[in-house]
C-alpha cells in the first residue's frame, strides 16, 4: 500500500479542534454558535469523504506532525481501518450535533457553549485516534479524548456528576497510565518502533510467550474505554451526562475508540499470525466472552433506561473484541464491521432515550408503560435499533453477527458460537419488554393522552439513524469493503 503525503488527514482532525474557538467566541449568540457546530460537522464529513476514493483504490494519506522520539513520530495516516472508523464517527457526529441542539435547547441546559466546544474537541480526538499511524499518536489522542469528555460527563456539576466524573477519570486515566503506557514502552523496547504495520511489529522481536501475554493483557485492560470487565464500571457511571453525550460518546466515539485501539494492537502490533503461533487468541476470546454474558445479564436487571443501554453497550463492545480474538479473517471482519453496525443501532436507542426524557421527562423503564402510543415514531425507531443490536434481519446488526458466527465456526471454536447465540437471546430479553410496555401496556392513571413527540431537531436525526440501521442490511457494501481491506482480505 502506498501512502501519499497530504495535509488532508491533519485538516480532518483539526477542523473541529480549531472550530472550538469560534464556538467559544460566540458564547452570547446561540444561533451563530450552533451554525458553527453544524458547519464544522459538515466540513468534517466532506473532508473524510473526499479521502474515501483513494483509500478504496488501495491508496492512503500520511502527514507527520513532529518527530518526537527516535523512530516514533507523531504521525497521521489514513488507511482502510482508520477510514472505516472515521467515516462512522464523522457521519454520526453530524446527526448528534443536530440532535444536541434540539435536546439542549428543549431542556434549556446551562453552559451550552462549554458543552459544544468540548464536544468539538472530543470528535477531533476521535478522528485523531482513527488516523493515528503509530501507538504513541494513538495514545496522545486517546488521552485527549479522555480529558475533553470530562466536562461533558460532569456537565450538570452536581454531587452525582462529581462522583461520576471522578469514577470516569479514575478508570480511564488510571488504566491508560497504569497499563497501556508501560505496555507501549515495553513494546517499544522490544520492537524499536511503534508503527502500525500489517502483520505486526512484535513478531520479529523474538519475545517469549509470557512477555507477549503480559503485554497483550496490559493493552486490553489499558484501553479501558472498550469496557472489558472488570474495567467497565465507568460506563454506567458516565450515564449522568446529557443524553447526546451518552449517545455519541458512550455509544460510539469513546467506547469504540477503546475497541479500535485494542483492534489496532491485535492487528498491527501483534499481528494475527503471531497470536496464533503463541496461542493467545483464547486470552482475548475468554475475556470478551465473559464480558458479553455478564454484561447482558446485568442489563436485564437495570430499570434506568440509559443504564440498561450502557450495559448493553458493554456487552456489544466485547463482540468486536471477540471477533478480533478469533484471529480468522472473517471473524476479524465481523468484529470490525460490528463497530459500524452497533454504532448506528445504539445511537438510535440513545437518541430515543433522550427523546423520551425531553418529551415525557421519564428515565425509568417501569414508568414508560403506554408511552409508545404517545411517541410512535420514537418507539418505532427504538424497535428498529434494538432489532439491529439483537442481530435480526433485515437490519445491519445481522451482517456483522453473521460474520462473527462464521468466524467462530471457521476457527473451530463452537463455544464462541454458543456465546453469540445466548447473548442474542439475552439482548432480545432486555430490549423487547421496553417496546412491549410502550405499545401494549396501558398508561398509568393521570398520564396525558395524544401524540407528543420530541422536537424535530431530535426526531429527525433518530429517524435517519434508525433507517440507516435498516439500510445497512441491504447496502453494507462500503463498510464491508473497508473492513475486508483492513484485515487484508
Partner 1 sequence: MTTSNLHMYVLAAPLLTALFVNMLGRVSRSYVAPLVLGALGFSTLASLGVLSRVLDQGSYSYTVGNWAPPMGIELIIDPLSALMLVLISSVALLASFSALPMVAKEQAGKEHLFFTLYLILIAGLMGLVMTGDAFNLYVLLEITSITTYGLIAMGKGRAPLASFNYIIMGSIGACFYLLGVGYLYILTGSLNMADIAQILPQLGGDAAMATALCFILVGLWIKMALFPLHGWLPNAYSLAPTGAGLLVAPLMTKVTIYLMVRVMFSIFGADYLFVQNPLVQSGMVWLATAAIICASCLALAQRNLKRMLTYIIIAEVGYMVGGVWLANSTGLSGAILHIVNDALMTLCLFLAAAAIAYRVGSLDFDNLQGLYKRMPITMAAFTVGAFSMIGIPPTAGFFSKWYLILGGIEAGHWEYVVALLFSSLINAILFFRIIAIAYFRKEGDHARLQREEAPLIMQGPLILTAATLIVIGLGSGPLVRGIIKLALPVGF
CB of 139 to partner 1, least distance (A): 7
Residue 154 in the binding site for partner 1 (CB under 8 A): yes
242 lines the binding site for partner 1 (CB under 8 A): no
Q: Please give the angle made by the CA atoms of 294, 300 and 301, to the nearest 5 degrees.
A: 100
50 scored as a contact of partner 1 (CB under 8 A): no
- In whole angstroms, the minimum distance from the beta carbon of 169 to partner 1 comes to 6
Binder of partner 1 out of 56, 106, 181, 428 (CB under 8 A): 181
Q: Give the integer Cα–Cα distance in Å for 185 and 192.
A: 10
The residue among 72 and 249 lying less far from partner 1, judged by its C-beta, is: 72
Quick one: which segment of 29-37, 154-162, 247-255, 360-368 binds partner 1 (CB under 8 A)?
A: 154-162
Interface residue with partner 1, options 166, 362, 373, 481 (CB under 8 A): 166
The DSSP string of 141-163 is HHHHHHHHHHHHHTTT-SHHHHH
The count of other CB atoms within 10 Å of the CB of residue 426 is 20
The SS3 assignment for 411 reads coil
Stretch that binds partner 1, among 163-171, 282-290, 368-376, 418-426 (CB under 8 A): 163-171
**CA angle, 278 then 281 then 284, to 5°:** 130
Identify the residue among 14, 169, 377, 417 touching partner 1 (CB under 8 A).
Answer: 169
DSSP H stretches of helix in 57-198: 80-106, 112-130, 135-153, 159-175, 181-191
Q: Which of 322, 326, 320 is nearest to 275 (CA)?
A: 326
Stretch that binds partner 1, among 98-106, 167-175, 242-250, 461-469 (CB under 8 A): 167-175
Q: Is 18 in the site for partner 1 (CB under 8 A)?
A: no
Using CB under 8 A as the binding rule, whether residue 28 contacts partner 1 is answered as no
Residue 200 near residue 269 (C-beta atoms within 8 A): yes
Q: Which of positions 80-139 make contact with partner 1 (CB under 8 A)?
A: 136, 139
User: Measured from the CB of residue 164, what is the shortest distance to partner 1 in angstroms?
Assistant: 11
CB 117 within 8 A of CB 100: no
- The count of chain residues that interact with partner 1, using the rule CB under 8 A, is 31
Distance between CA 196 and CA 199 in Å, rounded? Answer: 9
Nearest CB to partner 1, comparing residues 188 and 357: 188
Contact 8, 61 (CB under 8 A): yes
Residue with grid cell 431537531, as numbered in its chain: 457
**How near is the Cβ of 140 to partner 1 at its closest, in Å?**
4
Q: In a 3-state reduction of DSSP, which class is residue 451?
A: coil
Tell me: does residue 66 bind partner 1 (CB under 8 A): yes
Least spacing, CB of residue 12 vs partner 1, in Å:
18
Can you give the binding site for partner 1, defined by CB under 8 A? 65-70, 73-74, 136, 139-140, 143, 147, 151, 154, 157, 159, 162, 165-166, 169, 173-174, 177-178, 181-182, 185-186, 188-189
Amino acid at each position: 500500500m502506498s501512502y501519499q503525503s497530504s495535509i488532508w488527514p491533519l485538516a480532518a482532525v483539526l477542523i473541529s479542534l480549531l472550530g472550538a474557538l469560534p464556538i467559544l467566541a460566540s458564547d452570547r449568540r446561540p444561533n451563530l454558535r450552533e451554525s458553527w457546530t453544524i458547519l464544522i460537522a459538515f466540513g468534517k464529513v466532506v473532508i473524510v469523504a473526499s479521502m474515501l476514493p483513494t483509500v478504496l483504490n488501495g491508496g492512503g494519506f500520511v502527514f507527520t506532525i513532529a518527530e518526537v522520539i527516535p523512530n516514533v513520530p507523531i504521525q497521521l495516516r489514513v488507511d482502510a481501518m482508520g477510514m472505516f472508523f472515521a467515516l462512522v464517527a464523522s457521519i454520526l457526529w453530524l446527526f448528534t450535533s443536530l440532535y444536541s441542539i434540539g435536546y439542549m435547547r428543549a431542556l434549556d441546559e446551562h453552559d451550552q457553549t462549554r458543552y459544544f466546544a468540548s464536544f468539538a474537541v472530543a470528535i477531533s480526538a476521535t478522528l485523531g485516534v482513527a488516523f493515528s499511524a503509530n501507538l504513541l499518536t494513538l495514545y496522545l489522542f486517546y488521552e485527549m479524548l479522555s480529558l475533553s469528555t470530562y466536562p461533558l460527563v460532569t456537565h450538570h456539576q452536581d454531587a452525582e456528576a462529581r462522583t461520576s466524573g471522578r469514577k470516569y477519570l479514575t478508570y480511564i486515566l488510571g488504566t491508560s497510565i497504569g497499563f497501556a503506557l508501560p505496555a507501549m514502552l515495553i513494546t517499544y523496547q522490544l520492537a524499536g518502533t511503534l508503527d502500525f504495520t500489517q502483520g505486526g511489529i512484535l513478531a520479529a522481536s523474538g519475545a517469549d510467550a509470557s512477555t507477549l501475554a503480559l503485554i497483550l493483557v496490559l493493552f486490553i485492560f489499558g484501553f479501558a474505554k472498550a469496557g472489558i470487565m472488570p474495567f467497565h464500571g465507568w460506563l454506567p457511571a458516565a450515564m449522568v451526562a446529557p443524553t447526546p453525550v451518552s449517545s455519541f460518546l458512550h455509544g460510539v466515539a469513546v467506547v469504540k475508540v477503546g475497541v479500535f485501539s485494542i483492534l489496532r494492537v491485535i492487528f498491527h502490533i501483534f499481528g494475527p499470525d503471531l497470536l496464533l503461533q503463541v496461542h493467545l487468541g483464547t486470552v482475548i476470546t475468554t475475556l470478551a466472552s465473559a464480558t458479553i454474558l455478564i454484561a447482558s445479564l446485568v442489563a436485564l436487571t437495570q430499570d434506568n433506561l440509559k443504564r440498561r443501554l450502557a450495559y448493553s453497550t458493554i456487552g456489544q463492545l466485547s463482540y468486536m473484541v471477540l471477533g478480533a480474538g478469533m484471529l480468522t479473517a472473517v471473524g476479524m471482519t465481523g468484529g470490525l464491521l460490528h463497530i459500524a453496525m452497533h454504532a448506528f443501532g445504539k445511537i438510535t436507542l440513545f437518541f430515543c432515550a433522550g427523546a423520551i426524557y425531553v418529551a415525557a421527562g421519564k428515565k425509568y423503564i417501569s414508568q414508560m408503560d403506554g408511552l409508545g402510543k404517545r411517541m410512535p415514531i420514537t418507539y418505532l425507531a427504538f424497535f428498529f435499533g434494538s432489532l439491529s443490536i439483537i442481530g435480526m434481519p433485515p437490519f445491519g446488526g445481522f451482517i456483522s453477527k453473521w460474520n462473527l458466527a462464521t468466524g467462530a465456526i471457521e476457527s473451530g471454536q463452537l463455544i464462541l458460537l454458543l456465546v453469540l447465540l445466548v447473548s442474542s437471546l439475552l439482548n432480545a430479553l432486555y430490549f423487547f419488554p421496553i417496546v412491549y410496555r410502550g405499545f401494549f401496556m396501558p398508561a398509568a392513571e393521570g398520564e396525558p393522552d395524544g401524540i407528543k413527540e420530541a422536537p424535530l431537531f431530535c426526531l429527525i436525526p433518530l429517524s435517519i439513524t434508525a433507517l440507516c440501521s435498516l439500510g445497512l442490511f441491504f447496502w453494507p457494501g462500503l463498510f464491508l469493503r473497508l473492513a475486508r481491506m483492513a484485515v487484508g482480505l
